[in-house]
Structure 1
Amino acid sequence: MAGKSHLSGDSVPATEPPPPRDRCWHDGRQFCYSWEEDAELRPSLEPPAAPGTECYGVRWTPLRPDVTLKDCFSMANVSWYGGPSIRAQHWPLNGAESPAQPLVSGDLSANPDGFGPLLERYFLGSTGVTVTVAPDVSLLLSLESHQQFCLETPAGREEPLHYQLCVSADVAIPLLTTWKGQLCARLNVTSEAALGWYLARARRLRQALGAAYVAFEGVEGNSFLEQDVPAPAELEGDRYTEALAAALATLGNGTVISAGSRSSHLPLFVQMSPLRSDWSHAGLKGLIPSVLHYSLLGYNFFIPDAVGGSEAGATPGDPELFVRWLQIVTFLPVMAFGTPPWLCCDTWVLNLTRQCIQRHRDFVVPLLLKYSEEWQSLGYPIFRPAWWLSPTDPVAFTIEDEFLIGDEVLVAPITEKGQTWRDIYLPGEGHLWLDTNTARVFDGGTTLRNYSASLAEVPVFVKTS
């Protein structure tokens, strides 16, 4: 916390006050300083508000009626909370802007530039500093966006400015943030006591509900960076995500987290980011690139977004989109549904969904188990790009709408709206590929042009040699 004081008067420049004099030199129990005959400062040690906290009273008294007192607190490297509600509310307070005005509650509909109906004379800094202004002080407050906020007395009234500063040097305050529009505090992953308390509650809740899986959201992000607060060395960068993932992994294999960093070796499922309900790269076309990206980084056990996409897109409730999406997730670790097929589509789509679920159980799961052992022993991704089998073919390096499961199964779904054909690249020159739909065999290292795939079909090839 950094603060600075201003004295304003007819003869005293606000930016350059005269040097102070100790007026209480004869009394070793207190300090008091005066600037000529303009103002007097009396700091005092106050009873602590909590163990490990030091509190100080700050009392400025003007010595002339034309002196205005003003104390400012820097927003550099400190996130501030509290104070008044305003029309354009910011979190933290650092982004707010308001001219100096009386710190009293008001009606924002009548005075949009004033303070709102809820306020307290209390300010909390992310560094563990609090500022509390006495209720009997006539106070003006100004907010200078991302620079400082200032406490000020009215001009010409010769009234004191009195507030209390409390500092918790050894007591960490919660790192406050917002999640889904709600105020919350980040779990302190550096505290064994905090982690133990949190994990114990999670285990009890899981047991009480009989839940097979428990999902933890909000793992991503760095609240220190978001709030421009210096992070402790052990939580620099994305180490918060890494530390929290390691702790959550102790809850067992049925744990789902929303982010990962240096945690691909842990027995966790990672929830993929939501996709739009459309055919764009923010929707269906982005699914296979995401699969390849996650798997290449070592995160083979992920949960893709719900079939059809969970974010509103250009084609919500599109049966064709639902089917093509379903055909891809059939070959992924988890099949997730947001909208059940009997609500979005015809009966034939419901029957197709049943077939895909059965295919996932009978055909895909054994493959995942087989190649997860290879991943653990050799570090190879389970889901592989075409260039994995054709490392010298330039064509293979830009293919983003096909993927391999291990070295033996190639999935080449349709990702274009209205299409019932596509070009399919078969990687691995010298290998043979069997089309599971037609039983035809093709050479690797070739491209099948305009290969037919009706809406009920997804091209899948098995390497036979």
Structure 2
Amino acid sequence: LIVDENIESTGVNLNRRNSISLPAGLNTMEPLEYTPQLTPESTRRHDGYETSDTFSDGAVSDAESSTPDSEAPKMNLAPARSARKKSILPKRSSSLADEDDQDSRSDLTDITDPSPGNSISSVNSISSLLKEKIMMSLPKALKRRKKPKEYKLRAFVAFLFLAIVGLVGFAHVFYHQQVLQRAYFEKIRFNKEDRVVKLYNKDGVEIALGYLGVHLPQNDRVFPCLHSNNRKGKLCLEWMHKARLYLSYKEEKEGDTQFRCYTFTWQSLHPDTLLTDCYENREQHGHWYGGGRTLGMAWPVELGSVEMSAFVTGHIGRHRWGSVLRRYFINSRGVAISIDPETPLYVSINAKDEDKLCLQARHDKFAYVTHDGLPRLNYSVCTSRNMKMLHSFLSEKALWDGIKEDEENFIVSLMSEPVWQIAPKAKEDLNESTVVSYTESVNTLGFVRQGHVLLNEHWQQFVGDLTLDESRFPTMNETIDIIHRRGFRIALTIQPFISTESKHFAEAVEKELLINERNEEEIRKVPALTRYKSVKSAGMLDVTHNETIPWLCEKLKALVDGYKIDSFYLDMGTAYDMPQFYQLKNNLTNPDHYKSILISQLHHKYQVIGVSGAVHRPPAPTFVSLPTLSSSWESLQVIIPTILTYGIIGYPFLMPGPVGGDYIPDPPGPDEANSNVTFHGFGIGDQKSPEAHLPNKELYIRWLQLATFLPVIRYSVLPSHYSDSQVLEQAEILTTLRRQTVNPLLKALVKEALNNGTPLIRPLWMLDPFDTYCHTVKDEFSVGEQIIVAPILKANTHEREVYLPAGVWKDGIEGSLRKGSRWLHSYKVPGDRIAYFVKMPDNTRF
């Protein structure tokens, strides 16, 4: 036995490694007093796990694990010193350490005893103790080392499980949102399960998001159509017994620009199925324009709100839509929607707090009562790289091929010369002396050109007489000759209505020229009555009857031949002016088609100066009027958005209302609250007192400033009617500005409008479709691309914010040059000036 020299006293800790070296062959010795406390083959750990490992000097061997205990002394074991390794034994507790210290002291006493017996027994005792300690401590140490690995393994398995679950969930979502959004055609993805359609531009950027069939149940399955229902070149999908959808695609190219058009056609298969498609109109999906006049006239349309309603003409204030419409909407992201004219269309904008433009096909008991079968929703969505190119592509081109030279000259003359409207509210105030006096006052001004004198419907004794009231116009032949010699032309307002008091009502009933009441008895034909403006009871001509237009033309011919009338203004009312239960000779799928038929029939026979409403662009040289407006600042503010909207939907030649408004508003009486009268209040120009019933002077001047840059300038109140000379001076200055600057530009734009349908008055985004500021400016406009106009539209205001698109612009007030693509903040505009800017060449130097 070799004792380490560091063992100097009984206080030496025998737990130090390498402190004792066992002699060779000691491992084969088995002390008599040693009884194993734990059997290696059946060792139970303190944590409840069992182990069947057999230890050999701290090393684990598969062969040893199967060796019986009786043969253990015969095994060749390596020296215990070689099997002991550092960091094997775990840290012991204090109690165990105390016991070990006691054992160590006892062992040390035996070792230091010089007797041989003590030496042998001490060696055996130490050997037994060391082997027991190793056998008990080593498995625990190994198990403790395995615990962190087990926790790591469990954590890894849990992480792997969560990753697999997440991957499966992502795959499910991706399948529904991407795989199911099948690219049936180029640049479009359609999820047929959720009925979500996405359109993309050429760079793969999403430009439109639509929700199709929003009223179909979400859990309804979709199937491919039966072979008998398929159509060539169209994808067909069917929701059983509810609706069928056809999708088709067409691509066209003009120059280097591609235009893609997708057609969506829904067919209802059940009376209870409501076909509705909606498109996002939030800012990230662009701004929408078009449709027509709405209450408040929002520009863009998403700034307003329209409840779901029939897309037919009406009176703003009582109905959702105005008198000029077109089934066309265009988006600032380069997306346009055109709806088929035969669709029984309902439209909503931001209804029920949803930022969506929604289209719906629905039959009803008034607007679309004549439709047969179940509703169909048919429309096209076209895309291009920007909305300016797209709008030009979709505009009706060469519609006026074959226009005569004198018709083109008429357009130029109407834009160069004012329209003088004589339209008192009271019928008695319109007489021969009124006309003569009015034209004399115009000539007295001295700085304006003569133009068209327009008389309202009161030139007749009763609406529908179609002859001048001889009691008020006894010598109208001579009066019209005088008017012609003064350089004026005379125009009369006509309507398709015949008052029940008219001398022609009985004749029209007898010849069945009027719209009948809808009933099931074919033999019993009763004229359907309605109201129109001040007429309390009137019939309406049936333009689908073959004899109606010839009868009307005969009456008009008598007027032209007898009084040398130059032209007519056609006031047709709106769809809601038709009888409620109307029945025409030939049914119309849309009551507004009435206007298109009447305009086209009269245009070929007589000069029509303008129309009050339209749903299709009338043939040249007919102008479309803006709606009737009251004399107020609110009315002044809606003129620009209305003109911009009308131009976008395809009406380039527009005739604004009179300077100062059509009438001075007055609260309606109790009997008139729900009447069909167009306006309430005193008529402009009644002149019962020197300045009675005249618009506010500041309002009149600001209105005149705006009208100076519009296609047609129309007067009802003359500047000379005001006693203030400032009004007259302003009118003279603005007339000179129009004659020298505006009229030549308008004349140059006529050809472009006739050939391409391009509006004369344009939104700023038509100058720069990529400038996002231009998308939302609603109180500025451009005349062609050469002049930007920014009028004052609020009372007591002498400054405003002005935005100039890209380019170099000459200030019309100061004469200085200004760089575009920027705002002019707090731009000063005196009361006698209007802000306008003339485009200069791009290479102009400051």
TM-score (norm 2): 0.34
Answer yes or no: is 1:126 the counterpart of 2:517.
Answer: yes
**1:177 match:** 530
Report the Cα offset of residue 255 of structure 1.
Answer: 2.4
1:249–1:255 contact (8 Å) kept in structure 2: no
- CA offsets 1:327-352 (integer angstroms, 9 cap, x no match): 01111122112222222351121122
**1:337 match:** 715
Structure 2 unaligned spans of 5+ = 1-364, 367-514, 667-692, 842-846
Answer yes or no: is 1:355 the counterpart of 2:702.
Answer: no
Question: CA separation in 1, counterparts of 2:759 and 2:516?
Answer: 45
Larger mean CA deviation between 206-215 and 233-242 belongs to 206-215
Q: Which amino acid is the alignment partner of residue 437 of structure 1?
A: I
| 3-state DSSP of counterpart to 2:663 | coil
1:128–1:173 contact (8 Å) kept in structure 2: no
**2:319 match:** none
**1:249 match:** 603
Identical counterparts, % of pairs: 28
Q: Say how many residue pairs are matched.
A: 301
**1:28 match:** none
**1:397 match:** 775
**1:418 match:** 796
Task: Describe the shift of the 1:236–1:230 C-alpha distance in structure 2 as closer, same or farther (beyond 3 A).
Answer: farther
Structure 1 unaligned spans of 5+ = 1-75, 78-123, 130-166
Task: Describe the shift of the 1:365–1:201 C-alpha distance in structure 2 as closer, same or farther (beyond 3 A).
Answer: farther
Task: Describe the shift of the 1:184–1:358 C-alpha distance in structure 2 as closer, same or farther (beyond 3 A).
Answer: farther
- Which of the pair has more CA radius of gyration? 2
Question: CA separation in 1, counterparts of 2:618 and 2:764?
Answer: 22
Question: CA separation in 1, counterparts of 2:568 and 2:736?
Answer: 25
Task: Describe the shift of the 1:379–1:217 C-alpha distance in structure 2 as closer, same or farther (beyond 3 A).
Answer: closer
Question: CA separation in 1, counterparts of 2:742 and 2:834?
Answer: 14
Question: CA separation in 2, counterparts of 1:207 and 1:295?
Answer: 36
Task: Describe the shift of the 1:448–1:209 C-alpha distance in structure 2 as closer, same or farther (beyond 3 A).
Answer: farther
Question: CA separation in 1, counterparts of 2:583 and 2:562?
Answer: 39
**2:553 match:** 199
Report the Cα offset of residue 440 of structure 1.
Answer: 0.8
Q: 607, 613, 624: which is aligned to 1:270?
A: 624
Report the Cα offset of residue 404 of structure 1.
Answer: 0.6
- CA offsets 1:93-128 (integer angstroms, 9 cap, x no match): xxxxxxxxxxxxxxxxxxxxxxxxxxxxxxx97136
Answer yes or no: is 1:296 the counterpart of 2:672.
Answer: no
2:517–2:583 contact (8 Å) kept in structure 1: no
Answer yes or no: is 1:460 the counterpart of 2:839.
Answer: no
Q: Which amino acid is the alignment partner of residue 405 of structure 1?
A: V
Answer yes or no: is 1:433 the counterpart of 2:809.
Answer: yes
1:402–1:412 contact (8 Å) kept in structure 2: yes
**2:590 match:** 236
Report the Cα offset of residue 461 of structure 1.
Answer: 1.0
**1:346 match:** 724
Aligned alpha-carbon RMSD (Å)? 2.6
Task: Describe the shift of the 1:200–1:435 C-alpha distance in structure 2 as closer, same or farther (beyond 3 A).
Answer: farther
Task: Describe the shift of the 1:441–1:208 C-alpha distance in structure 2 as closer, same or farther (beyond 3 A).
Answer: farther
Question: CA separation in 2, counterparts of 1:369 and 1:194?
Answer: 37
Pairs within 5 Å for 1:10-409: 126-127=517-518, 167-169=521-523, 173-182=526-535, 183-222=537-576, 227-229=580-582, 232-234=586-588, 236-280=590-634, 283-313=635-665, 317-409=695-787
| 3-state DSSP of counterpart to 2:632 | coil
1:390–1:445 contact (8 Å) kept in structure 2: no
| 3-state DSSP of counterpart to 2:530 | strand
Larger mean CA deviation between 283-292 and 356-365 belongs to 356-365
Question: CA separation in 2, counterparts of 1:206 and 1:334?
Answer: 25
Q: Which amino acid is the alignment partner of residue 544 of structure 2?
A: T
| 3-state DSSP of counterpart to 1:185 | strand
2:575–2:591 contact (8 Å) kept in structure 1: no
Report the Cα offset of residue 375 of structure 1.
Answer: 1.5
Task: Describe the shift of the 1:196–1:255 C-alpha distance in structure 2 as closer, same or farther (beyond 3 A).
Answer: farther
Report the Cα offset of residue 256 of structure 1.
Answer: 1.9
| 3-state DSSP of counterpart to 1:233 | coil
Question: CA separation in 2, counterparts of 1:230 and 1:195?
Answer: 17
| 3-state DSSP of counterpart to 1:255 | strand
| 3-state DSSP of counterpart to 2:575 | coil
Question: CA separation in 2, counterparts of 1:212 and 1:450?
Answer: 48
